[in-house]
Structure 1
């Protein structure tokens, strides 16, 4: 009689042990990632491809959100970790820096007269500027840099994505502030404007909740991504 009652429990315990073993051997599991469109396209996508090739049984879920939105998803448990623009200060988060990127101003043929010249920040501000929206971390970083130099940014156009910044600059609607590492100038009519005072580099990082362990799958991805980013 006792066996009849506990036999099913033993069955579920055995299944549970099997599932745990599969997860530790990377034969099962899920990685839930938050990242903005630009970071997903230029940084995350190549790593996802190599990780999937190595661990095809692991499910991958990517949620495209801005850095502040990704942080909110992280705190409510919707994602395991996020790829974000730094700097970021939050006592609840653990941050690992993985890439260094450089912001600069780019223009199309309409602004050929500034090609080859070194422009001051004041000269840059006299041009029609196309910038990311205020809510983005990269825009806030640019704002802080300009404020430290005594200037206030007043863009003519604000957009929500890097790809649109590139296209608007290409057709001559203004000068865009872009991340150099994410702009392919080969065969493009865009050119980088040389600055007297260059914008200091900023960093891209992986963030997770402090004191909250990642799953085996998520931990393996972060480990591979971190070392790949520092090669």
Structure 2
């Protein structure tokens, strides 16, 4: 196989990322025919079909998914290197590559990033929203400098873990289930109701599965979601009883839009943590960011 032009891989990366040739063309300031031609050339050179058409654009084939897994890592390394090189000529400037879970971003992290940027305007924070497992994998691959994610961790090997704050999962329902407001129900009773939860690819779901197994129960949600952002509107519209975090539901509870379901068995609290990989040296700006998180939360506690 002859050497393949990196630009072809770069175009493949963006088409796969957007799952749309038009969006990739607009992002790269290229014409759609040029994008399509490069993808076709890459497929011919690799001897493998990479995309199939879908209603919204294109989807990766099995071979395309395997290639994207490797190319995305390579591209992120190259893009990060380009950004860091661009900053060398700018004195005192630095980048913090941050991977944050949805829960962390929703509950407090965005506010802390804004405060840190105000105090350290020359430190750029590049944010990727990702699940805890994906963030830990990215840390070990040196694609990010720090992950701010939720516990527990499947494998703590080689990780430096700083607990920032506690996180309390709760069971919540909309007013269509108001007859449960003054009741205390067991998990055995709870599973009889329609439940809303994240998919089992998330740390939150795996944690809840573990708790239910401890009580000889199997958590079988009626609605499984990929993003925590969709849980609240479904609970408010009485599509089921949901599992959420108290910090992100407090305002809706106080407004009377939803209520906390009292369960006989308490869900133990988890933690939001700042995690780095011990195999890599933590850059000074990254440590400064972690220290600011720990300091701010200790003051508020």
2:283 to 215, 221, 225: 215
Matches within 5 A, 1:105-124: 105-124=171-190
1:112-136, Cα deviation, whole Å (9 max, x unpaired)? 1111111111111111000011011
TM-score, normalising length from structure 1?
0.86
Residue matched to 1:202: 270
User: 2:293 aligned with 1:225, yes or no?
Assistant: yes
Task: Specify every segment of 5 or more residues in structure 2 that has no aligned partner in the other structure, as ranges.
Answer: 1-87
* 1:180 aligned partner: 246
Structure richer in helix, relative to its length: 2
Give 2:111's match in structure 1, choosing from 46, 57, 73. Answer: 46
TM-score, L = length of structure 2: 0.66
- Paired with 1:21 and 1:96, the residues of 2 have a C-alpha distance of 31
Query: How far apart, CA to CA, are the structure 2 residues paired with 1:102 and 1:37?
Result: 15
1:181, distance to aligned residue in structure 2 (A): 1.3
Which contiguous aligned blocks of 4+ residues in structure 1 show a shift greater than 6 angstroms? none
Q: Does 1:77 align with 2:145?
A: no
Match of 1:139 in 2: 205
Higher relative contact order (CA 8 A, sep 6+): 1
Secondary structure of the corresponding residue to residue 32 of structure 1 = strand
Q: Which runs of 5+ in 1 are unaligned?
A: 1-18
Residues 25-81 of structure 1: per-residue CA shift (max 9 Å, x gap): xx3111110012232232210110110000111111001111111112111111101
Determine the C-alpha separation between the residues in 2 that align with 1:132 and 1:229: 27
Residue 31 of structure 1 is matched in structure 2 by 96
Kindly report the root-mean-square deviation, in angstroms, between the aligned alpha carbons of the 2 structures: 1.7
Render the CA deviation track for 1:158-189: whole Å, top value 9, x for unaligned. Answer: 01222211110110100001111111223242
CA distance in structure 2 between the aligned counterparts of 1:75 and 1:212, rounded to whole angstroms: 9
Picking from 210, 225, 246, the partner of 1:159 is: 225
Q: What SS does the corresponding residue of 1:205 show, helix, strand or coil?
A: strand
Q: SS at 2:294's partner residue?
A: helix
- C-alpha distance 92-20 of structure 1, shift in aligned 2 (>3 A): farther
- Secondary structure in 2 matching 1:197: coil
How far apart, CA to CA, are the structure 1 residues paired with 2:217 and 2:166? 25
Count of aligned pairs:
209
| CA pair 226-21 structure 1, distance change in 2 beyond 3 A | farther
Among candidates 96, 110, 122, match of residue 57 of structure 1: 122
2:235 to 159, 169, 173: 169
Residues 1:20 and 1:87: Cα distance change in structure 2 (over 3 Å): farther
